[in-house]
Amino acid sequence: MNDPANATREVLWNIHYPWIMYALLVPTTVVAVYGFYRRIRLWRKGSSENRLDQPLKRVGLVLRHAVLQLRTWRRAYPGTFHAMIFWGFVVLFIATVVVMLDYDFGIPIMRGRFYLYFQSLFVDICGMLAIIGILMAGWRRWVVRPPHLIYNAESTAILLVIFTILVSGFLVEGWRIAATDDPWAAWSPFGNLVALGSSRVMSAEAMLAAHRFTWWTHLVLVFGLIAWAPFTKMAHVVNSTLNIYTARLAPVGANLRRLDFEHDEKLGIDALAGFTWKDRLDFDACTECGRCTAVCPANRVGKILSPRDIILDLQHRMHAGGDDTESFVGATPALSSEAMWQCTTCAACVEACPVAIEQFPKIIDTRRYLVMEDAEFPDTMQQALASLETRGHPMRGTSFTRVDWAEGLDVATMADVKESEVLLWVGCGGALVERNQKIVRALAQLLEKAGVKFAILGREEKCTGDPARRIGNEFLFETLVQENVATLDRYGVKKIVTSCPHCFNTLANEYPEWGGRYEVYHHSEFLEKLVAEGKLSGRLPTDRQVTFHDPCYLGRHNGVYDAPRQLVQIATGKAPTEMQQNRSNGFCCGGGGGMSFVDEPPNQRVNQERARQALATGADVVAVGCPFCTTMLEDGINATKGEREVEVMDVAELLWQAVEESSHATSPKPSTP
């Protein structure tokens, strides 16, 4: 009798009319299927987009982000309880399938050691972990109350329902154990606790009645949840998995779509009708976790931009079933044009989203509409674009030409040399802003010192089009791309080095779509390579503390995090002190997406917030790798540093200083008489 090999339990013990359960399964399934059908019908209204290529890669994404939930884990507390609840329910679901196979299909697997180790002990532990997970979630939702969550009845109800399902499961198990005097009780420790407790206070009859009642309650709640879930944010179990499977495979920096100026009826998007099925799936995949808004730099400094609410408001609009061609701009605060003009396109939202929603590209879609169809956008951005159109650069009022920075250096232009191993793409931010000319000078001197044969386009260089594209003037962007590609191809350029991550991203990720295929390096990568090859060396003698600020278009957009840090290490002899928000979680300088051409309200400046984070490290030098970050952070630091001496330096400047210092140190000293 007590041979573990025979261990099992009676299924549907104490339950009369079990056919009712099977009968209830039909409407449950019908309602649940209808719930998803409703959503799928809405997604299918979107225009086409290919997101089904490379299935193996996509399965990998699902494994990493839906099964292992690597992004959810990035926040430890919610990551932990989410995993406890998720895995708890997955195991409980498997246990239910085991029961079904055994009882309904007559496959005798719920037996013996498998019954004891898995079906009893493991399932019991997982059920308890899920309960603890729900309590942790409840603690966060009702006690800690972080501001980026949405507090509504649905969320409360979902937590209460799944909590009740689990507790009722343990009660049912406990009363069965007690009433049947289950010899394997010890293998269900938590159920057994219920059994031990109940047998002290309840009669056998009471337990039988309570068991029956609670079993049916448990069943109704489970079936109810299955039927109801597709209509709630619980649908994310399916929607988010699909969304992860259909995520963009290219780097974040390459995720803006090309327009068809000949055929597009409307340029950009201002109404649901403009979105693809994937955008619509994005809206539905949202779990309301609020991580995107929590990391949004604009939101952090008190602006109204909230990527979460953009997605959710569009989701509500999609479900409200109104006219899909009606403009959403201004329909809610999150969808106002004011919010659209606060985005720095830093991609922190995209990076933070555990379910692969692409928030900021939708902002760009809307900007495109506002700029190209409405011609309504901030004056200073208009001036930048007007300058871009007339002069090929957005730096209105600059007193510099594209070659002034090289005065006194022996820098050749492509027009002079016709061909060159490397093209140094200087960029408007490097050539036309006095502060940043020092960066390009340092870089040019480093290249020269390392013996790299390079040339610049000089006056033939034009803006890559990055600000035009991010501000939303795709037409101007395309014009600039075509002009630049023609120039680059005329000189047969193959390898490009640039000190501007915006130029880098556009040249590397966006130009190929217009036929411009080059080997593009950010200067930090190129310089790191030169150091590794032994062509550059040096060390600063000072003991200055250096921190490094990740430029969004280098880090998040392109995944380059190590090369610039390596340069800091080489130049100073030690790794940079990290700010609290670093690498993929780095905080924007406030200058991307055309925002460096906008005057922010004095109390809502992203650069000052980042400057405070940099100052908090106690560093004497804030190292950067982007001309826009340099000017934004320098302004921010000067406004917040008080009496401290803090310098903002590009990694190229740091390295050049180190190289120079070392060459002075090794050159023979004049002998003293």
Partner 1 sequence: MNIVVCLKQILDPEIPARDFKVHSEKREAEQGGANLVTNIFCENALETALQARDAHSGKITALSCGPDGAEDVLRKALALRVDEAILVVNEADSNPDPLFVARTLAAAIRKHGDVDVVLVGREAGDWGAGQTGGLLAEELGLPCISFAESYEPGSTAGTVKVKRQTDAGYEVMEVTTPVVLTITNHDQNVPRIPKTRDVMQSYRKPLEKWPLSDLDIDPATAHDYYQVAELFIPQKEVQCELVEGDTLEAKIEAFAGRIAEVIQSM
Residues 379-418 as b/e (b if ≥16 CB within 10 A, e otherwise) read: eebbebbebbeeebbbbbebeeebbebbeeeebbbbeeee
Of 209-217, 344-352, 400-408, 411-419, which segment contacts partner 1 by CB under 8 A? 400-408
Q: Which two tokens stand for residue 381?
A: 């951005």
Q: Among 397, 408, 451, 673, which residue interacts with partner 1 (rule: CB under 8 A)?
A: 397
Residue 115: half-sphere exposure toward Cβ, Cα within 13 Å: 20
Of 13-21, 165-173, 374-382, 488-496, which segment contacts partner 1 by CB under 8 A? 374-382
Can you tell me whether residue 461 is helix, strand or coil?
Answer: coil
Which C-beta is closer to partner 1: that of 365 or that of 650?
365
Binding flag, residue 473, partner 1 (CB under 8 A)? yes
Distance CA 512, CA 516 (A): 5
Of 178-186, 384-392, 419-427, 568-576, which segment contacts partner 1 by CB under 8 A? 384-392
Which C-beta is closer to partner 1: that of 187 or that of 377?
377
Q: Among 34, 93, 139, 261, which residue interacts with partner 1 (rule: CB under 8 A)?
A: 261
Q: Among 338, 404, 421, 489, which residue interacts with partner 1 (rule: CB under 8 A)?
A: 404
Which C-beta is closer to partner 1: that of 115 or that of 377?
377
Q: Among 157, 186, 386, 409, which residue interacts with partner 1 (rule: CB under 8 A)?
A: 386
Q: Which two tokens stand for residue 332?
A: 């809610």
Which C-beta is closer to partner 1: that of 217 or that of 382?
382
Q: Among 336, 398, 487, 585, which residue interacts with partner 1 (rule: CB under 8 A)?
A: 398
Alpha helices in 573-643 (DSSP H): 606-615, 627-640
Of 95-103, 278-286, 289-297, 381-389, which segment contacts partner 1 by CB under 8 A? 381-389
Sketch the per residue contact string, 307 through 346, with partner 1: x for CB under 8 A, - otherwise: ----------------------------------------
Minimal distance in Å, beta carbon 395 to partner 1? 10
Which C-beta is closer to partner 1: that of 248 or that of 391?
391
Which C-beta is closer to partner 1: that of 392 or that of 590?
392
Q: Are 436 and 429 in contact (CB under 8 A)?
A: yes
Q: Are 145 and 155 in contact (CB under 8 A)?
A: no
Can you tell me whether residue 498 is helix, strand or coil?
Answer: strand
Q: Among 96, 401, 638, 663, which residue interacts with partner 1 (rule: CB under 8 A)?
A: 401
Which C-beta is closer to partner 1: that of 385 or that of 611?
385
Which C-beta is closer to partner 1: that of 399 or that of 671?
399
Closest CA to 7 of 182, 155, 165, 125: 182
> Residues 6 or more apart from 389 whose CB is under 8 A from it?
476
β-strand partners of 648: 622
Distance CA 560, CA 109 (A): 51
Minimal distance in Å, beta carbon 459 to partner 1? 5
Q: Are 443 and 499 in contact (CB under 8 A)?
A: yes
> Residues 6 or more apart from 177 whose CB is under 8 A from it?
185, 188, 191, 192, 194, 195
Q: Are 351 and 252 in contact (CB under 8 A)?
A: yes
C-alpha triplet 588, 592, 597: angle, nearest 5°: 125
Minimal distance in Å, beta carbon 392 to partner 1? 8
Which C-beta is closer to partner 1: that of 206 or that of 415?
415
Distance CA 607, CA 609 (A): 5
Minimal distance in Å, beta carbon 391 to partner 1? 6
Q: Are 665 and 538 in contact (CB under 8 A)?
A: no
β-strand partners of 456: 413
Edge to edge, what strands does the sheet with 454-456 contain?
Answer: 412-413, 454-456, 422-425, 495-498, 519-522
Minimal distance in Å, beta carbon 261 to partner 1? 7
Of 271-279, 336-344, 397-405, 494-502, which segment contacts partner 1 by CB under 8 A? 397-405
Long-range contacts of the stretch 379-383 (C-beta < 8 A, 24+) = 380/597, 380/598, 380/599, 381/341, 381/471, 381/594, 381/597, 381/598, 383/597
Within 474-513, the residues that bind partner 1 by CB under 8 A are 474-475
Binding flag, residue 26, partner 1 (CB under 8 A)? no
Minimal distance in Å, beta carbon 347 to partner 1? 25
Binding flag, residue 257, partner 1 (CB under 8 A)? no
β-strand partners of 546: 621
Q: Among 244, 292, 372, 655, which residue interacts with partner 1 (rule: CB under 8 A)?
A: 372
Which C-beta is closer to partner 1: that of 117 or that of 400?
400
C-alpha triplet 497, 254, 50: angle, nearest 5°: 145
Within 411-470, the residues that bind partner 1 by CB under 8 A are 459
Which C-beta is closer to partner 1: that of 385 or that of 527?
385
Minimal distance in Å, beta carbon 303 to partner 1? 24
Of 292-300, 329-337, 368-376, 615-623, which segment contacts partner 1 by CB under 8 A? 368-376
Q: Which residue has the tokens 């050049």?
A: 656
Can you tell me whether residue 12 is helix, strand or coil?
Answer: coil
Q: Which residue has the tokens 């995944």?
A: 559
Number of residues that bind partner 1 (CB under 8 A): 25
Q: What does the binding site for partner 1 look like in residue numbers (CB under 8 A)?
A: 261, 267, 371-375, 379, 382, 385-387, 390-391, 396-401, 404, 459, 473-475
